[in-house]
Structure 1
């Protein structure tokens, strides 16, 4: 379909009147179909709607467009709202929360679509179509054979009233189609500017009410946006070509349309489309993997536009403050998920810095540790100290459950004979370090401890300083590599470090 830029005037915004009353409020909706679970692209659309609503003191609505009954996925409707709440952008009105314009599931609003359909039929803007699926398939094949775009030929538009009544009296199956009006129709998109799309010259009349009594997207979203007093529609760029059709429906029903902005697509870093077949694009995947909600909000907003430059580490209040729809460009946003761990490292550090969120992390980590090490108990003060010391090194909270950090929770089994292969002075090295730790007690810090270790261990004649570090690392952690010895000792504390050295030297 071809879209042309045109010179046009924006639809004036003012007081909107709907069945619920008169409203000046900014109201935006996120309206996914529960034919799948929430993924990164959907989260980005939801976020931009949420930010616009909160920036202007308005309401953010979740509406589930579940009229395609054949494609519904069990649990998807609940899952979408769960993930919005998890992400920290909960709707003000939704199927779960309710609201003044409910119900918020289209399958429970059929009477509204039937009323609108009847209005369109009575005005002549819509008509009954009795064409069989077989005929429609033949039209499609003929068009493809002629290398044309398949379209309905509007045959039933020309049936007389008598012909229609005869077919209805015989219960001939039908759908209802909307009659597209020919001629130039321009509208102003808040991002793409003025658009001209003569939809009637390109498409056949679209179905607005299916044979099963359920509406198509075209009718349902128009009716609901009006009935729910939606002031602005921010949706994906793929719906840009349908907007002229929707504006014709608004006009035929005598309703004022909302303002439209079509967001550029979120694509993989190579420019390919995000696919639901990619298991790692679903929000549940990231939540279960331990990523923080603010991490996802940060990366999906940072890879696009609408904010003040590219700044890793923005929180939701900062996103609301910086958000400006006029800054959103029309180029697709490329997301590189390889940077996701780095984003999470930044936001995990922010949480560790905050006393309240740090306490939540401590409780969560304590639970994870107790699940992993069934017969052990873990002190919260020690866990908190560990988080503070490892801040900036951790990408995920669950990193602390990895083998590289097991030394923090479990004493390694190291014997003196295992250390003799590195140096015959292993026992002397251990004794020297015990003396250092006993003198320093709880005043130990990484910088001071590093200096003390170098002063004493570099005096050994038979063992290089680097070898001494290998021996101490083995004693403290059982690892060949990892954090510095001083960092390990500070993390473990003087008493536990001394206990591990004594265990190794006496075994």
Structure 2
């Protein structure tokens, strides 16, 4: 130092194996001095290494328990010896088994799709990610889908953690997501957040169109339990909700020679529909009226109406489509496709 030469500061370790009790792995022994040698605790630029910074930081913050990945298990002896050298009481340590891919391979940054931001951009809720990660590991009396953060906190038991690695099965993510998205739609405050998010996404995709918050909320409530992620509503399957489809009359009349009669009956129904009509009531009204047709089966009538309303052969029930679109928009589409 007097000669102004570059130097580092090492921590001189006592020889021999040192034992400590980990809250998950039990008693652990590691002769760090003979295996690794004296660790550097201050680098040549004067900055501390992780080992020293970690110990000082935890002590200054009065950390009582350190929970971290099992890869740090062999470093814990160094940290405990640093606590001893500094005359500080150490926290308790619990090392957690690794989170692995479904096939047992390690999660890697090179995969690209394991970053939290990737799932956020896909539309997954924080509750969903927290639930599936805790579900695939241990620390709980049993696994179940749909636990909230308060429930996880209440049920968590450190003594229940095993030393076996947890396998992350992302194929189950849509199932977990559907449960949590349904819960968010059911809650007034969380539903308002979803409406705002979807409104922003729609404005980004359909720049010249304005979507009413009440309309978006109605769609969310009607589609509750059918959506895995919020961005499902931006897929081609739901494009009819945001843009009027191009429907060819010959396609409709090809399904039924009574296509015009179907249109007239439906217009009559919609003219008498109350603004608060339920899905069940509208479904019954459609069935009662459309059974009056001479040659067209009810199921075929539904195909005609679904195509007229959405331009698609599959999708939600016709009654749900009508309630989603609203009476006025439904009448416009039926009249344009079947009666013009």
Do they superpose with TM above 0.5?
A: yes
* Structure 1 residues 28-56: Cα deviation after superposition (integer angstroms, max 9, x where no partner): xxxxxxxxxxxxxxxxxxxxxxxxxxxxx
Q: How many angstroms apart in 1 are the aligned matches of 2:192 and 2:213? A: 9
**Count of aligned residue pairs for this structure pair:** 340
* Residue number in structure 2 paired with 1:274: 107
In the TM superposition, residue 243 of structure 1 has moved relative to its aligned partner by 0.9
What is the aligned counterpart of 1:220 among 31, 53, 65? 53
* Residue number in structure 2 paired with 1:263: 96
* Residue number in structure 2 paired with 1:153: none
Q: What are the residue-to-residue correspondences of 1:281-296 with 2, within 5 Å?
A: 281-296=114-129
SS of match in other structure, 1:281:
coil
What is the aligned counterpart of 1:413 among 233, 237, 246? 246
TM-score, structure 1 normalization: 0.63
Q: For the Cα contact (< 8 Å) 2:125–2:177, is it kept in 1? A: yes
Q: For the Cα contact (< 8 Å) 1:415–1:505, is it kept in 2? A: no
SS of match in other structure, 1:277:
helix
Structure 1 runs not aligned, ≥5 long: 1-167
Q: For the Cα contact (< 8 Å) 2:263–2:339, is it kept in 1? A: no
In the TM superposition, residue 171 of structure 1 has moved relative to its aligned partner by 4.1
In the TM superposition, residue 189 of structure 1 has moved relative to its aligned partner by 0.6
Q: Does 1:426 align with 2:259?
A: yes
Structure 2 runs not aligned, ≥5 long: none
Q: For the Cα contact (< 8 Å) 2:264–2:339, is it kept in 1? A: no
Q: Does 1:385 align with 2:242?
A: no
* Residue number in structure 1 paired with 2:36: 203
In the TM superposition, residue 332 of structure 1 has moved relative to its aligned partner by 1.0
* Residue number in structure 2 paired with 1:248: 81
In the TM superposition, residue 343 of structure 1 has moved relative to its aligned partner by 1.6
**Distance verdict in 2 for CA 1:200–1:370, change over 3 Å:** closer
SS of match in other structure, 1:295:
helix
Q: How many angstroms apart in 1 are the aligned matches of 2:328 and 2:97? A: 58
* Structure 1 residues 438-480: Cα deviation after superposition (integer angstroms, max 9, x where no partner): 3443353332333333344344343333322221111111112
In the TM superposition, residue 327 of structure 1 has moved relative to its aligned partner by 1.8
Q: How many angstroms apart in 1 are the aligned matches of 2:180 and 2:210? A: 28
Q: Does 1:305 align with 2:138?
A: yes
TM-score, structure 2 normalization: 0.92
Q: How many angstroms apart in 2 are the aligned matches of 1:415 and 1:216? A: 70
* Structure 1 residues 397-446: Cα deviation after superposition (integer angstroms, max 9, x where no partner): 22222221122222223243332222221111211222233344335333
Q: For the Cα contact (< 8 Å) 2:308–2:338, is it kept in 1? A: no
Q: For the Cα contact (< 8 Å) 2:131–2:145, is it kept in 1? A: yes
Q: What are the residue-to-residue correspondences of 1:71-470 with 2, within 5 Å?
A: 168-442=1-275, 444-470=277-303
In the TM superposition, residue 219 of structure 1 has moved relative to its aligned partner by 2.1
SS of match in other structure, 2:6:
coil
Q: How many angstroms apart in 2 are the aligned matches of 1:253 and 1:448? A: 75
SS of match in other structure, 2:110:
coil
**Distance verdict in 2 for CA 1:201–1:408, change over 3 Å:** same
In the TM superposition, residue 214 of structure 1 has moved relative to its aligned partner by 2.2
